[in-house]
Structure 1
Amino acid sequence: MVSISFSPLCTLCLVVVFLTKALAFGFTADLIHRDSPQSPFYNPLSTKMDRLNNAIKRSFSRAAHLKQSLSQSHSPNTIQSEIIPDSGEYLMKLSIGTPPVETLGIADTGSDLTWTQCNPCRRCYKQKAPLFNPKNSSTYRELSCQSQPCQDISRDNPSACHNNICHYDLTYGDRSYSTGTIATETFTLGSTSSRPVSVPKMIFGCGHHSGGTFNNFSTGIIGLGGGSFSLVSQLGVGKFSYCLSGFFGNETDVTINKINFGDNAAMVSGSGVVVSTPIIPNEISTFYFLTLKSIMVGNKTLTHKTKMKSSNCDNNATADYEQQAGNIIIDSGTTLTLLPSHLYRNLESQLRKTIKSKPSEDPQGLLGLCYSDTNIDLPNITFKFTGAELELPPMNTFVQRGKLVCLGMVPSDDIAIFGNLNQINVLIGYDLVKKQLSFMPTDCRKINN
C-alpha cells in the first residue's frame, strides 16, 4: 500500500494553451500494453506463455497490494497510490514543463498520484529517459506550505511541510519508495486526433529520492483513479473511456489501444448496446467500486451471496454479501478477475457441468480450471451488475496457456476485482460526474485504428 501526502501529474504529449483546467473539449491518446511490440518493456525472446504467466503473477501481486490498501481507512485529504512498482499493464506518454520533456508513465485506474523522477536526484532508480530538470522549465513552481492544497494535507500529515515547501512521501508495500516535492507544472498532452494541448498549473510529485523495484523504462505513474488529484479530476474533463484489444494473441498485430478524455469519451462508437451501472462512493475515492449481483453460465444464474460479518454493533450479525453495494473493483492494472471464493467455487462447478470435457491440472498451479482440448466448446459468461448485464465470450474469460485453455478467474477471500481480460473488446466509459460506468461490447481494433 502507498500512503502519501498529496499529488498528481498528467499524461502524454501536446500544445494548445488553455487558461482553465475545465477543458470543455475532448482528446484521445495512445494506451500501450506493456507486452506489445510498441512498448519498451517488450521482450522479443519471451513467448506468448511467458508473457501470460508474468501477467498472471502480476495480478496476484497487485491484488495483494490493493487488499492492503483497502484494509486501512484514510483521510480524504491523503492521496493513496496503490500501484505496485513495475506492475502496471498499460503505459502512456506525457510531456512535462516548458519546453516540454517527454516521459513514459504507467497508466493506472487504481492510483491517483502522478509523479516523475526529477533532478537533483539524491538517490534514484536508474531510468532510460533523462530525469526531468525543474531548473530548465520556465513554468515549474513549488507549492509552499501556505498554499491551500498543502494546508489541506498538513492538517492530517504534518510532515508534508519542510522549509516552507510542500512534500510527498510514498512507501509501497514491497518497500519501494518515492519522496519529493509537490509542485505545479505545464503538461503537454499528446492527442491522436488533434493538435497537442498544453495544460498549465497541474499538481504533481517531483521525485528526488526513490528506489526499489521500479523498471528503468518507466519514469513514474499516471493516476487515472477517482480521487480529486488524479489526472481526470485535475483536467476537469469529468469522464474518460478506453477500448482494449487482445494482448496475448498475434504478435504482428500492431493495434495500439486508445484512451479518450472529455467529449471524446462519449459512448457512441461501435455498434453495441450501451449498459450502465453506478460507481459506488467509498471513503477510498481512488478506486472504482461496482456492485456485482450475480454471474450467469448459459441459463444458470449464480447469485453473488454469502454470509459475512456485518459492520453493525452486533458482532454475531451477518449480512448477505450480494446486498452490499460496491463489492467489486474494476481495475485496468489487473489481468485476471478475482472473485469471492464461494462465487468462484459455484462458477467452476457450473462450468465443469457445462463443458463436455475432462479438466486437466495446470502444471504451474496458477489457474484452477483448465482443459487440454483447446478446441472444446466454451460457454459465454454473463456478469450482472446493478442495472447492467455484460455477456462475455470465451476469449474474455479463458486464456490459452500452451496446450491448455484455462479460466482466467481465481478465488479470493479478501478482494474482488474485475480485471482487464474481461474488458477486452468492450468500450468502457467512466463518468466521474454522474458516478456511472458504462459498457458497450464492440470490436476495439476498429475503434483504435
Structure 2
Amino acid sequence: MAEHLLSLCCCSLLLLFMVVGVAGKEEKIVLYLQKVGLGEERASQYCLPKRSRREKGATILEVKHHSSCTTSFSTREDKLMKIIESDNSRISSLYHRIKNFDSRSPKTVLSESQIPITSGAKLQTLNYIVSIKLGNNEMTVIVDTGSDLTWVQCQPCSSCYNQQDPIFNPSTSQSYQQIPCNSPTCSSVQIATGISSFCGSDQPSCNYSFSYGDGSHTSGVLGWEQIDLAGTIIDGFVFGCGQSNYGLFGGTSGLMGLGRTQLSLISQTIFQFGGIFSYCLPPREYDSSGSLVLGGDPSIFKNNTPVSYTRMILDPPESPFYFLNLTGISIGAVALQASGFYNGKVLIDSGTAITRLVPSIYIALRDEFMRQFSEYLVAPGYSILDTCFNLAGLREVSIPTMKFVFEGGVEVDVDVNGMFYYVKEDASQVCLALASLTYEDEVGIIGNYQQKNLRVIYDTLGSRLGFAEETCGWL
C-alpha cells in the first residue's frame, strides 16, 4: 500500500484531497490542498480505456480522460490556453449550428428521414474516450453528446492524422458494406445536411463531408458495419468511413455520436438500450476512470443520491442537442437573482469544458462568490477566467457551495473537482472554472468540468435528463 501511494505522489504535481465539511448552514465545503511533488503531469501507461462488460441488459464501457495519453503540454498555463482555444472553437461551431436549426423552420417538425450530420469542433483537450469494436477491430473514439455521426478513419486514407490504433480497413471486413448513393439512407442524410447529390466519381458510394469551422474536417463514405459494444452486437450500423480527416483529434480513431437524431448511436441502438445512456466522468485527468452506460437499469449505478429528472427542451424538435431549462443558481445559501433565469435555456454538452453563462447570471454568480470567498487573496484573471485567487501555501480553504437548479426544482451540486482550475502549479493562480458569454440572448452551456462526480442520465424517449451524485470510477 505504501509503495502504491508513493507511485501516485510521483505522478502528480498537485493532489487535491477533498472532504466535504459543514460551515454554517451547510453553506461551504472544505478543500484540503497538499503539494506532494514536482515535475510535469505524466500520461499513464494504462491510459486507454480497455474495460467493458454487459450487466442486466446494459453495456458498460470504461471512460478515460483524453489527456491520459497526452504529454504535449509544457506547463499548466499552456494546457489551459489550449483548452480555452478549443472551447472557443467548439462553442462558435455549436452556436452556428443552433442558429441553422432555428432558422430552418420556426416550429415545423422535419420528417423522420431528414437526419442531420453534425459533430463537435476541434477535439483536442478535456474530451473523454471509450473503446469499441467495429468489424472486430478495436477503436478508441471520443464521446460526444453534440454529435450524431459516428466515424472512424479508414483505408484507403488520402489524408489522415496519426492515431494509436490501426486504421480501419473495410476491405478486410466481411461485414462491411458501402451505402449506395441511391439508397434512402444516403438521400436522407444529404437532404438533412443541405448537401446536394454527392456520389463517388468511380463508384456509386454515398459520400459525406463535414467541416467544423476551425479547420478540422472529416470526409469519406458512409457504410454499414457490425459494431460490438462489450458483447452487444449491432449489425448494419451506419457510420462514416473517413478517408480524409484533419484536426487535433489526439490520436483517437474517430468519434462516437451520442446526439438526439436518428443517425446517432443512441437512436441506432434503440431496440437494445431503449434510447437511454448515462455517464460518470473521471474526476481527474490522469490515473482515473469513469463509465459510459448504454441502457437504463439504475441498479447498475453507484449513485450516492437519488436520481432527479428534469425535462429536455425539444426546441427545435429536430436539433441534435440536449437543452435544459436552468431556473436558478445558489452560492452557499444565497439564491442568485438575475434576469437571465427568465429564459434559462442551456445546452448540456460532454465536449465543452468550461461552463458559459449569460452575462446577467455570470455577474451575479461571480459577485456573490467573491463576497463569500473574500478572506482569500485575489489573483489576476487568465483569459476568459476572470475570477481568480492566490491559494499558495495554504493547506485548506473553505469554499462556498454551488448549486444549479433546473426546471422541476431539480438541484445539482457542483462537485469541488469542478469548482476551480489551477493555472499555476503552486496554486498561486486558481480560477473559478466558469465564464461569461458576450450577449444576453446567447444559449448557456453546461460544460464537462462542472459534470464531474455526477451520474448524468439521458432518457431520449422520455425526453428527460437525470442527475445523481456519484463518486465516479469504473463500475
Structures share fold, TM-score greater than 0.5? yes
Give the aligned partner of residue 411 of structure 1: 436
Separation of aligned partners in 2, 1:344 and 1:323: 14
For the residue of structure 2 that corresponds to 1:30, the secondary structure is: strand
Please say if residues 291 and 386 of structure 1, whose CA atoms lie closer than 8 Å, have aligned partners that are also in contact.
yes
Separation of aligned partners in 2, 1:361 and 1:400: 12
**Residue 216 (structure 1) shift:** 5.6
Please say if residues 127 and 217 of structure 1, whose CA atoms lie closer than 8 Å, have aligned partners that are also in contact.
yes
Separation of aligned partners in 1, 2:297 and 2:422: 34
Decide which of 428, 440, 444 is 2:468's aligned counterpart.
440
Q: Specify whether residues 262 and 357 from structure 1 end up closer, same or farther in structure 2 by C-alpha distance, changes over 3 A only.
A: same
Give the aligned partner of residue 279 of structure 2: 242
In structure 2, runs of 5+ residues without a counterpart are 1-48, 105-109
Q: Specify whether residues 207 and 12 from structure 1 end up closer, same or farther in structure 2 by C-alpha distance, changes over 3 A only.
A: farther
Q: Deviations over 1:213-244 (max 9, x none)?
A: 23461221111111211111111121111112
Q: Which amino acid aligns with 2:303?
A: G
Equivalent positions of 1:224-303 (< 5 A) are 224-236=258-270, 237=273, 238-248=275-285, 251=286, 254-264=287-297, 268-283=301-316, 285-303=319-337
Q: Which amino acid aligns with 1:178?
A: T
Separation of aligned partners in 1, 2:120 and 2:50: 21
Q: Which amino acid aligns with 2:235?
A: P
Please say if residues 14 and 188 of structure 1, whose CA atoms lie closer than 8 Å, have aligned partners that are also in contact.
no
Q: Specify whether residues 363 and 383 from structure 1 end up closer, same or farther in structure 2 by C-alpha distance, changes over 3 A only.
A: closer
Decide which of 453, 456, 461 is 1:428's aligned counterpart.
456
Please say if residues 119 and 147 of structure 2, whose CA atoms lie closer than 8 Å, have aligned partners that are also in contact.
yes
Q: Which amino acid aligns with 2:70?
A: F
Give the aligned partner of residue 130 of structure 1: 166
Decide which of 330, 349, 359 is 1:331's aligned counterpart.
349
Q: Give the alignment's Cα RMSD to 1 decimal.
A: 2.8
**Residue 50 (structure 1) shift:** 5.0
**Residue 267 (structure 1) shift:** 7.4
Please say if residues 153 and 160 of structure 1, whose CA atoms lie closer than 8 Å, have aligned partners that are also in contact.
no
Q: What is the TM-score of this pair, normalised by structure 2?
A: 0.77
For the residue of structure 1 that corresponds to 2:268, the secondary structure is: helix
Determine whether 1:391 maps to 2:413: yes
Separation of aligned partners in 1, 2:398 and 2:93: 36
**Residue 339 (structure 1) shift:** 0.5
Q: Specify whether residues 12 and 427 from structure 1 end up closer, same or farther in structure 2 by C-alpha distance, changes over 3 A only.
A: same
Please say if residues 64 and 128 of structure 2, whose CA atoms lie closer than 8 Å, have aligned partners that are also in contact.
yes
For the residue of structure 2 that corresponds to 1:333, the secondary structure is: coil
Q: Which amino acid aligns with 1:143?
A: I
Q: Specify whether residues 359 and 228 from structure 1 end up closer, same or farther in structure 2 by C-alpha distance, changes over 3 A only.
A: farther
Give the aligned partner of residue 139 of structure 1: 175
**Residue 272 (structure 1) shift:** 1.0
Give the aligned partner of residue 314 of structure 1: none
For the residue of structure 1 that corresponds to 2:320, the secondary structure is: coil
Separation of aligned partners in 1, 2:86 and 2:133: 28
Q: Which amino acid aligns with 2:328?
A: S
In structure 1, runs of 5+ residues without a counterpart are 1-10, 17-22, 191-195, 307-321
Please say if residues 89 and 333 of structure 1, whose CA atoms lie closer than 8 Å, have aligned partners that are also in contact.
yes
Please say if residues 292 and 386 of structure 1, whose CA atoms lie closer than 8 Å, have aligned partners that are also in contact.
yes
Q: Specify whether residues 93 and 398 from structure 1 end up closer, same or farther in structure 2 by C-alpha distance, changes over 3 A only.
A: same
**Residue 24 (structure 1) shift:** 9.3
Q: Deviations over 1:92-138 (max 9, x none)?
A: 112221xx112221111111111112111223334343321111011
For the residue of structure 2 that corresponds to 1:200, the secondary structure is: strand
- Is 266-275 or 132-141 further displaced after alignment? 266-275
Q: Which amino acid aligns with 2:354?
A: L
Decide which of 200, 213, 222 is 1:182's aligned counterpart.
222
Q: Specify whether residues 205 and 245 from structure 1 end up closer, same or farther in structure 2 by C-alpha distance, changes over 3 A only.
A: closer
Q: Specify whether residues 12 and 261 from structure 1 end up closer, same or farther in structure 2 by C-alpha distance, changes over 3 A only.
A: farther
Q: Specify whether residues 85 and 396 from structure 1 end up closer, same or farther in structure 2 by C-alpha distance, changes over 3 A only.
A: closer
Q: Specify whether residues 354 and 85 from structure 1 end up closer, same or farther in structure 2 by C-alpha distance, changes over 3 A only.
A: closer
Equivalent positions of 1:353-372 (< 5 A) are 353-357=371-375, 359-362=377-380, 364-372=382-390
Q: Specify whether residues 60 and 126 from structure 1 end up closer, same or farther in structure 2 by C-alpha distance, changes over 3 A only.
A: same
Separation of aligned partners in 1, 2:312 and 2:300: 16
Q: Specify whether residues 336 and 233 from structure 1 end up closer, same or farther in structure 2 by C-alpha distance, changes over 3 A only.
A: same
Q: Deviations over 1:402-438 (max 9, x none)?
A: 2233211000033411111211111111111101111
Q: Deviations over 1:182-236 (max 9, x none)?
A: 110011223xxxxx2322110001112222x234612211111112111111111
The alignment of Structure 1 onto Structure 2 pairs a total of residues equal to 399
Separation of aligned partners in 2, 1:426 and 1:420: 10
Equivalent positions of 1:102-141 (< 5 A) are 102-141=138-177
Give the aligned partner of residue 347 of structure 1: 365
**Residue 42 (structure 1) shift:** 4.4
Please say if residues 13 and 94 of structure 1, whose CA atoms lie closer than 8 Å, have aligned partners that are also in contact.
no
